[in-house]
Amino acid sequence: MIPDALINAVRDARHIVIFTGAGVSAESGIPTFRDPLTGLWERFDAASLATPEAFRADPALVWGWYEWRRMKVLQAEPNPAHRAIVELARHVPHLTLVTQNVDDLHERAGSTDVLHLHGSLHQPRCFTCGKPPEEPLGTPDEPEGGRRLQPPQCERCGGHLRPGVVWFGESLPAYQLDAAFAAAKDCDVLISIGTSGFVYPAAEVPNLAWQAGAVVAHVNPLANISRGEREYALAGAAGETLPMLIERAFGRTGS
């Protein structure tokens, strides 16, 4: 059940913020970061590989794992939730899409100007000088991973390229975070999709929207609310719930 008050708020909104987490990508078959590693990587702990210290100690091991992850993303396809966000953008004056995901499924579905709070698997940079490579990454060499892969060298300084994601102990990109916070404070409705809300400072985005007077909805199989007023929990898969919300607010669409 989708409350009429939420449907009306979405229909009347001038600015909607969509805030997505790993649950959206999981519906495309991409494991979440907290899922146990499988196959040739099952003896490793994901958190222990996602640090600058791990890369300094064994850059080939860390690069190999991230290339395996990137291959999994390239094998996946956008799901109905990704496409519903694109459809929603056609119906509202202004939509800001903020994601904690490091894949490109939003862009491949058709979303533009996505704010990536945790970086991207597809945008590496030099570990030494911080510059991006002159040429984009090609297709990963090892579809199933499991072996060390020597990272490419930076054309400028000769250092190793590193994955373009935010590791534990690193700050989120200031521009992206500031833009997300500004959008949250400006929006009428924020829809949080597939995120636990426990990872800070990104988890401040829905809080800022609610504090500024926006309607906040959480779409998640285990969705719950803590405030009640102007806050809604839509328990279910995003690929089913979002299209239903759009249809209720704007009528049947062509997606």
Q: Which of 46-50, 86-90, 226-230 has the highest mean pLDDT?
A: 86-90
Same domain, 69 and 81: no
Characterize the bridge pairing of strands 215-220 and 231-235. Answer: parallel
Res. 112: pLDDT tops 80:
yes
- Among 35-44, 113-122, 169-178, the minimum mean pLDDT is found in 35-44
Res. 156: pLDDT tops 80:
yes
List beta partners, residue 15: 94
Q: Would you state the torsion angle of the CA atoms of residues 240, 103, 60, 202, taken in this order, to the nearest 10 degrees? A: -90
Please state, in angstroms and rounded to a whole number, the distance separating the CA atoms of residues 101 and 117. 8
Same domain, 111 and 184: yes
pLDDT, greater one: 22 or 145: 22
Domain count, the chain: 2
Outline where DSSP puts E strands in 67-143: 94-99, 115-116, 119-126
Annotated catalytic sites, by residue? 118
- Secondary structure percentages of the chain, helix, strand, coil, to 5: 35, 20, 45
Residue 87's domain comprises: 1-29+77-118+172-255
Burial class of residue 248, CB neighbours in 10 A (0-12, 13-18, 19+): middle
Same domain, 133 and 222: no
- Mean pLDDT estimate for the chain: 90
Q: Which of 45-49, 88-92, 249-253 has the highest mean pLDDT?
A: 88-92
Of 136, 165, 194, the one marking the end of a domain is 165
Please state, in angstroms and rounded to a whole number, the distance separating the CA atoms of residues 19 and 28. 17
Res. 18: pLDDT tops 50:
yes
State the pLDDT at residue 254: 47
Same domain, 143 and 18: no
Same domain, 107 and 223: yes
Please state, in angstroms and rounded to a whole number, the distance separating the CA atoms of residues 120 and 104. 7
Spatial contact of 177 and 201, defined as CB atoms under 8 Å apart: yes
User: 60-64 contacts: CB < 8 A, separation 24 or more?
Assistant: 60/148, 60/149, 60/150, 60/151, 61/148, 62/162, 62/163, 63/148, 63/149, 63/150, 63/151, 63/160, 63/161, 63/162, 63/163, 64/142, 64/145, 64/146, 64/147, 64/148, 64/149
Q: What is the CATH number of the domain that holds 103?
A: 3.40.50.1220
Spatial contact of 117 and 102, defined as CB atoms under 8 Å apart: no
Same domain, 99 and 17: yes
Percent of the chain with pLDDT over 70: 89
* pLDDT tens digit sequence for 132-149: 998 888 877 654 545 678
Mean pLDDT for 29-34 is: 76
Sign of the dihedral defined by the CA atoms of residues 95, 100, 101, 102, in that order? positive
* pLDDT tens digit sequence for 174-216: 999 999 999 999 999 999 999 977 778 888 999 999 999 999 9
State the pLDDT at residue 41: 53
Q: What is the CATH number of the domain that holds 129?
A: 3.30.1600.10
Res. 35: pLDDT tops 80:
no
State the pLDDT at residue 167: 95
Please state, in angstroms and rounded to a whole number, the distance separating the CA atoms of residues 21 and 131. 27
